[in-house]
Amino acid sequence: MAAPAQALTVSRPFSPSHAHARKQLSPALLGCTLDELTAIAVELGLPRFVGKQLCGWIYDKHARSFDEMTNLSKAARTLLSTHYVLGISTPVESVESRDGTIKYLFRTVQGHYIESVFIPDGERATLCVSSQVGCKMACEFCMTGRQGFMSQLTAADILNQVYSLPERERLTNIVFMGQGEPMDNIDNVLRATEALTAPWGYAWSPKRITVSTVGVAKGLRRFLDESKCSLAVSLHHPNPTERGAMMPAERAFGIEPLVELLSQYDFCRKTTDDYAEGTKQRRLTFEYIVFRGINDSLEHGRALVQLLAPLDCRINMIRFHTIPDTRFDGTDETAMLRLRDYLNAHGITTTIRASRGQDIYAACGMLTTKRMEEERA
């Protein structure tokens, strides 16, 4: 596959801490809660307050090594480094788009590649993170789905995409819309979102974080019950049969029972009274890649209105980022606008996502696929 024109590529070697983690496979402290860090300190024979100090060094000061933790004794730092790693690693490659979007390639402790995408947009800066290596869902239009499933990401793997991001301090939002199905790795996704939102962690508002899903029932129920983060559902077609033809997950837990499940939960309403009272703060969005001749007609719009009638939600229409050897084509701008306007006129707030990073392997999974092909060559 030829590299897109005019993309700026910067490659970086593994950091020493990453190499150490790969050799030792020691437990990572990144992703641990304050209580867990305190328990680790006590288990090592250190004072309980070391747990709080570790929390500060990891989630506030973003230490790159134990040696930086200068309010811990040298003996304590040596003891910690003997039994644990921080669980951090710098990107091994980055590719920057003309529009400012940057795709980062990380390598996990197990040696797999994952992608993150930094998307600046005025005062807003979003990071799209991965939750798995590969994916089991096998969506026909997704490059990551073609890789198959290789490994779950740990909470440290997920958080490292934030921790080691050069633009970390600019972030305003995080979306779990990278490689993998978050609800199929729900334990580690919930651990990561807890660290991002807890007072002892990054202390972000849950409203700044959105987690996506194709509709994995067991994990989704846990997410709805245990998290206050917003939810994005990968819909892409209102007809179950047609959706199942391109998204095999439909056959396991269909879109109609998914809508029924979501209708039992309290999401953000357009009326300001409920929102001002601090209830219904989660936003529910349906992601809808628009394909020419497949899901872009007004007939599909009418089906969407009927399907989503029980929910207070919005639709985010997405232009298709072409991948190799696919039967899908993105629809034209006229059809996009016609469908958007129809949905808005029938009570569903609908927007068209601005396409970003189209010159840098924009589709999810393309950069990791490129790197894996290079290493096999």
Q: What is the pLDDT of residue 377?
A: 64
142-156 pLDDT, tens digit each: 988 888 999 999 999
Q: What is the pLDDT of residue 267?
A: 82
- 364 pLDDT tier (thresholds 50, 70, 90): low
Q: Comparing 107-116, 133-142, 203-212, 328-337, which segment has the lowest mean pLDDT?
A: 107-116
**pTM (predicted TM-score):** 0.89
Point out the catalytic residue in the list 93, 96, 115, 250: 115
- 373 pLDDT tier (thresholds 50, 70, 90): low
Q: What is the pLDDT of residue 10?
A: 41
Point out the catalytic residue in the list 128, 229, 268, 364: 364
The answer, yes or no, to whether residue 300 has pLDDT greater than 80, is yes
Q: What is the pLDDT of residue 371?
A: 72
Residue 310: which residues within 8 A CB-CB, separation 6 or more?
Answer: 259, 260, 263
The answer, yes or no, to whether residue 185 has pLDDT greater than 50, is yes
Domains of the chain in start order, with CATH, are 29-83 (1.10.150.530), 108-376 (3.20.20.70)
Q: What is the pLDDT of residue 362?
A: 52
Q: What is the pLDDT of residue 312?
A: 94
Q: Strand 93-96 to strand 102-107: parallel, antiparallel, or no bridges (unpaired)?
A: antiparallel
76-106 pLDDT, tens digit each: 999 999 999 999 999 999 999 999 999 999 9
- 115 catalytic? Reply is yes
- 226 catalytic? Reply is no
24-83 pLDDT, tens digit each: 478 999 999 999 999 999 999 999 999 999 999 999 999 999 999 999 999 999 999 999
224-267 pLDDT, tens digit each: 999 999 999 999 999 999 999 999 999 999 999 999 999 999 88
Q: Which residue has the higher pLDDT, 306 or 371?
A: 306
190-204 pLDDT, tens digit each: 999 999 999 999 999
Q: What is the mean pLDDT of the chain?
A: 89
The answer, yes or no, to whether residue 343 has pLDDT greater than 80, is yes
